Structure 1
Amino acid sequence: MVPAFKTVLASFGADLPGPKLAVMAISDLCVTNWYFIFGGLYLFFQSWRRSLNIQRFMDTVLLKAPIFGVVIRKATIARWTRRLATMFSAGVPLVESLDSVGGASGNTVYMEATKKIQGEVSNDTSLTFAMQNSAVFPNMVTQMVSIDEESGSLDQMLGRVTAFYEAEVLALLTAQ
């Protein structure tokens, strides 16, 4: 599209403003070096998948992104709480349940936080306190866990938290 405009504008012989010249220069760069661009993107995504440091960096960036970060955070919390509720309701002990929960979150930040939570819970710290220490869960989640951790119906409360966050994600994705 830009090369077509470039020939039309060049035929007029008029001087173009700086931003238009910059866009046309970027377009020329992309057209002549597309294979380097796609090769670089391919290598970046391959290293992203293989390097824990790059995954951590990208997951942190995605969680802080203005629009998508909120959706990603809420979807991750929904996955995390759903997996923990399922494992806990199946009778799997909490410390062992946390083993699979972190990986199921699909986010390196939450995976590492879950490992810390698991370590604290295995040292007789309450799940609520460990989640608060992780600083990745909103106050509402830790308060709801706190209420039902004491009453013994943690799996039911985690199910409610999951339903809430799944509804939030759906509302964000369908909002106009």
Structure 2
Amino acid sequence: MPVFEYVAIDSAGKSRKGIIDADSSRTARQKLRADGIYPSHLEETQAGETSDTPSRFQFQFTLQRVRRTELVNTTRQLATLLSAGLPLVSALSGVLEQVRRAPLRRVLSQVRERVKEGMSLAAAFREHPKVFPSVYTAMIHAGETSGTLELVVERLADFGEQQLALQRQVRSSLAYPILMLTVGLGVVVFLLAYVIPKVTQIFVDMKQDLPLPTTVLIGVSELFHKYWPALVLVLIIAFLAGRYYVKTDAGRRRYHRLLLRLPIVGPIVEKVAMARITRTLGTLLNNGVPLLSAMEIVRNLVNNVILRQAIEEARQEISEGASITAPLARGGIFPPVVIQMISVGEQSGNLEGMLFKVADTFDSEVESSVTTLTSLLGPVMILVLAFFVGYVVLAVLLPIFEMSHLVG
């Protein structure tokens, strides 16, 4: 359905602007007049990423994408208004007035119109799968069915804020090592491409036997200086080939399995995935979503195909009457602590609570591991850069010492 942006004057004589969803411009004007709003300008706009049709321009699509932080903030505002006792349509209108970016405003405008027409909030959200993930719509549906929508929206806001907080912690911890790596690579490239060729050319012109470190340095410098376009081309081709291979089924499986088995990165990747799986599953179960439906949603949220396959196999066995613990343990993918906690929760009837405890534990371990790793990366990169600079200095000074010895 088309979306129209309008500039209007309300019954109090105040200027207003916003978005409305209607079949035509005439219908849009009728809807506005029925609400006591008299448009002076009405223009149809593109729905951008709110529809399921692909964007005409990929760059424009990227700019119009609804950000995750916007969705979390909007969820918190909606939870606050619903907790204050506002009707759903009024709460959506209140949230819509606070949104500034056009993509999310268009989506919320369409959602509000659908709710006005009698559609449930979950069904209205499902019309925008690129904005509202399946876990979101499933919890909203469970809240509407059980009559606890305001509580579910509150939990959704908490869940989204916890996920964002973890992401920000990881990104902030990696900022310094990434900066050090960038500076270090820049220094190395500058030395190899500009400084070393000029310095070593003096020794080459003397046509004397040079020490091995100096010879190696001259060879690497000449290779980089003369053939850097070819080296860059090789790197680009290798990157594109690797990216294409990872998109294949076999390549994706090997890449995801490798991620889980890497010595340092693997445990962190596993803990992040386990925290997301257990927290999402616990949140869904805590809000009345059936176990099989919750596991299907969690499976779709997991990016790692190895973990996704393990969840799907466990889901199939559970649908045949098995407990949740045995299939997960049989897959050999989930850590023993997860299996034990789920088993205790299943036996005690507090599965949701145990899943939340597992998620909290892994979140804490991820934060600790990332902090430790980043605290070590900085000094390690400084040592590597110091070693390279020291080698360059040694390779330059050795011929000078030999010449001074001969002169002496």
Q: TM-score, normalised by structure 1?
A: 0.87
1:31 is matched with: 228
- CA–CA distance in 1 between the matches of 2:352 and 2:364? 18
Q: CA RMSD in A?
A: 2.2
> Percent identity of the aligned residues?
26
Q: Greater share of helix residues, 1 or 2?
A: 1
1:125 is matched with: 322
Which ranges of structure 2 fall in alignment gaps of 5 or more residues?
Answer: 1-190, 205-209, 376-408
Q: Does 1:154 align with 2:351?
A: yes
CA drift of 1:28 comes to 5.0
Q: Does 1:2 align with 2:192?
A: yes
- CA–CA distance in 1 between the matches of 2:297 and 2:250? 21
Q: Greater share of strand residues, 1 or 2?
A: 2
Q: Does 1:66 align with 2:256?
A: no
Which ranges of structure 1 fall in alignment gaps of 5 or more residues?
Answer: none
Q: Does 1:95 align with 2:95?
A: no
Deviations 1:24-64 (A, max 9, x none): 4763586122134224413432442x322212111111111
Deviations 1:1-34 (A, max 9, x none): 3133134224213254476467447635861221
The one-letter code matched in structure 2 to 1:76 is A
Q: Paired residue for 1:44, among 242, 246, 257?
A: 242
Deviations 1:120-142 (A, max 9, x none): 11121211111101111111110
Q: Is the 8 A contact 1:83 1:104 kept in 2?
A: no
Q: Does 1:104 align with 2:301?
A: yes
Q: TM-score, normalised by structure 2?
A: 0.40
Ranked by relative contact order (alpha carbons within 8 Å, sequence separation 6 or more), the top structure is 1
Q: Paired residue for 1:11, among 202, 205, 223?
A: 202
- CA–CA distance in 1 between the matches of 2:278 and 2:223? 45
CA gap of 1:19–1:107, structure 2 versus 1, over 3 A, is farther
Give secondary structure in 1 for the equivalent of 2:288. Answer: coil
* Larger Cα-atom Rg: 2
